[in-house]
Structure 1
């Protein structure tokens, strides 16, 4: 079974006034000058998974300027269940609406139909910046295995916002905290369980692979306060933490305080101490392992979005990456400034050139 887009049409999306491409299940190599609209194209593909897409942008930020009329994305998605027509629409920057086969649908349904993974340049500093980005990276990987993970995250965040409001208002009556802490405990325990299960799947996928990309040992660690795994223990920890939380004006214990620690397995070196090239290679390894584990579990490789990935690799590793993508059978959308970056793919991929003409992005098929 192959999961892939067969057609993608954009209208008034970012730099694209109108663009339509028809593709098959092979990898898609997009080349063209900086600013032509390559990343905008794969950002549209990222919306075929739950959430705000690979740039975490609002619908308003995706509107083509200066018209600001709203935007529309249409795609034909081939899944194990058949061919599905998926439409995203935002009127004048309002929150986007999702329709699947002509019917309104929640975003979480996308996660049950398709898995989409991405690696973009802003993630290159993942190991050396704050824990928020690493939690988000871990949760995206977890969501690929557990589509309901997004609902648990939303439930936890909603209850925590209400609890933090009580803390900021210095409310001390425990009656007001009980129900909220119960909701946080149930959702938080589910988040922790999902995260640990996802890390176990990644570890298994890395151990079974023979690849030129280094394996990473991953560990979920607590924040300043230990985060219990069970709902009952987490609820007790939240109750015990109220005095500290009242002083801080926010919740100091829970899965929202956790972090992801990575170690270059072959060298035993923490990821944050590795060279820039090694950190990039570790990220690629994790994305490939994520894809490998999903393919084994679901029978279909996920769609991959790799923005400017080739520019950071030497010719040997670039060829190895392409070989692994083709072996997976993944429809990988990759961007680069020139066609030479994708020469090793040859006819194993379809090659599209993205250029800018009269202020509009233009997409054209190019033969190898």
Structure 2
């Protein structure tokens, strides 16, 4: 199966890369070099070819190379949904991020209709033991791959909620001020929850396959059951007094959490070992990729930052086998080339070096 893929990507004044160009052929890609050389910066540039703030959630101005601060640009030729496309995203100093698709101005949300991109970064290693916010973001990234409208729904919901929270903080009690905002929150919130549940159902179906990585049982939860009511509009109205006291909205999809259980052992993810938690995370990404491959006819692009370093030789080989079996373009980073030995000729490789704060990339003939 041939998946969605980056064919060429050019970085200009992006992070540590003053200028970089990678030419890819659709196979998995291994990027290796010392810590601080600029490997993750390439993955971050690719992640910006999808809706949102990228894998680091960085502010637009922080993406520009220092000390020049001239702004930054990422241009990619891709094999996307519907064929080949040219994607551009950039920001001038002091200006918001811009997007063009095939030379025409577009929204960030439109990127999700061209490519589907999933990622794992080291910060996710603590996903199951830290606050619910990170798990919500992880879930919404997965959900966005199945439902491209999810980003726009989330933005609409969050804007309405911010406006409602402003009224709450100002101690406004007149119900007429809340009516339109709560109606918008109820409708978009309902669809957000529907999208999340559909994504979890597809991942559960795809996660039941043979794999070297453990499957997880996933559940969407809310504190005190908040957000589960079918009559969300009525619940928001009834909860105004409590929300006024708190100065914020206490029910809705923004309060959701993702619970995971190591299925074979029946152990909650937050009680598993560090290695088991990492394996569960990889399993969810692979299950999502399998489900998307079935739904779209081609798997998504996978960005796996330093993922191989936390796996033993057998698990690394199994990961590469599953990626290649999917036909997915996975762009992976590591400090040493030998982390990718078992990928062999099934993949491409690039070496990255850094001198005086400037990264340089060079293709390698063999991994």
TM-score normalized by the length of structure 2: 0.98
CA distance in 2, matches of 1:160, 1:260: 21
- Report the alpha carbon displacement of residue 225 of structure 1 after superposing the two structures with TM: 4.6
- Report the alpha carbon displacement of residue 109 of structure 1 after superposing the two structures with TM: 1.1
Whether the 8 Å contact between 2:352 and 2:362 is mirrored in structure 1 is: yes
Structure 1 position 110 matched with structure 2 position 107: no
Match of 1:203 in 2: 204
Match of 2:347 in 1: 349
Match of 1:100 in 2: 101
1:327-366 correspondence runs (5 A): 327-366=325-364
CA distance in 2, matches of 1:134, 1:80: 28
Structure 1 position 269 matched with structure 2 position 267: yes
- Report the alpha carbon displacement of residue 107 of structure 1 after superposing the two structures with TM: 1.0
Backbone CA RMSD of aligned residues: 1.0
Secondary structure in 1 matching 2:112:
helix
1:295 corresponds to which of 289, 293, 296: 293
Whether the 8 Å contact between 1:31 and 1:335 is mirrored in structure 2 is: yes
CA distance in 2, matches of 1:334, 1:134: 22
Whether the 8 Å contact between 1:2 and 1:80 is mirrored in structure 2 is: no
Give the stretch that moved more between structures: 76-85 or 329-338. 76-85
CA distance in 1, matches of 2:211, 2:26: 23
1:202-281 correspondence runs (5 A): 202-207=203-208, 209-228=209-228, 230=230, 233-281=231-279
Runs of at least 4 residues of structure 1 off by over 3 A?
none
- Report the alpha carbon displacement of residue 336 of structure 1 after superposing the two structures with TM: 0.2
CA distance in 2, matches of 1:281, 1:312: 9
Secondary structure in 2 matching 1:112:
coil
Match of 1:316 in 2: 314
Deviation readout 1:25-45 (Å, 9 max, x if unpaired):
100000000000000011100
Distance change (3 Å), C-alpha of 1:132 and 1:80: closer
Distance change (3 Å), C-alpha of 1:304 and 1:109: same
Whether the 8 Å contact between 2:229 and 2:235 is mirrored in structure 1 is: no
CA distance in 1, matches of 2:266, 2:189: 31
- Report the alpha carbon displacement of residue 359 of structure 1 after superposing the two structures with TM: 2.7
Secondary structure in 2 matching 1:238:
helix
- Report the alpha carbon displacement of residue 320 of structure 1 after superposing the two structures with TM: 0.1
Give the stretch that moved more between structures: 246-255 or 333-342. 246-255
Whether the 8 Å contact between 1:188 and 1:255 is mirrored in structure 2 is: yes
Structure 1 position 285 matched with structure 2 position 255: no
CA distance in 1, matches of 2:94, 2:175: 41
Whether the 8 Å contact between 2:33 and 2:334 is mirrored in structure 1 is: yes
Match of 2:323 in 1: 325
CA distance in 1, matches of 2:58, 2:151: 17
Whether the 8 Å contact between 2:160 and 2:185 is mirrored in structure 1 is: yes
- Report the alpha carbon displacement of residue 124 of structure 1 after superposing the two structures with TM: 0.6
Whether the 8 Å contact between 1:225 and 1:252 is mirrored in structure 2 is: no
Deviation readout 1:64-120 (Å, 9 max, x if unpaired):
000000011111011242211111121115221111111101111110111000000
TM-score normalized by the length of structure 1: 0.98
Deviation readout 1:107-137 (Å, 9 max, x if unpaired):
1111011100000000010000010111111
CA distance in 1, matches of 2:224, 2:171: 22
Alignment coverage as a number of residue pairs: 365
Secondary structure in 2 matching 1:277:
helix
Structure 1 position 78 matched with structure 2 position 79: yes
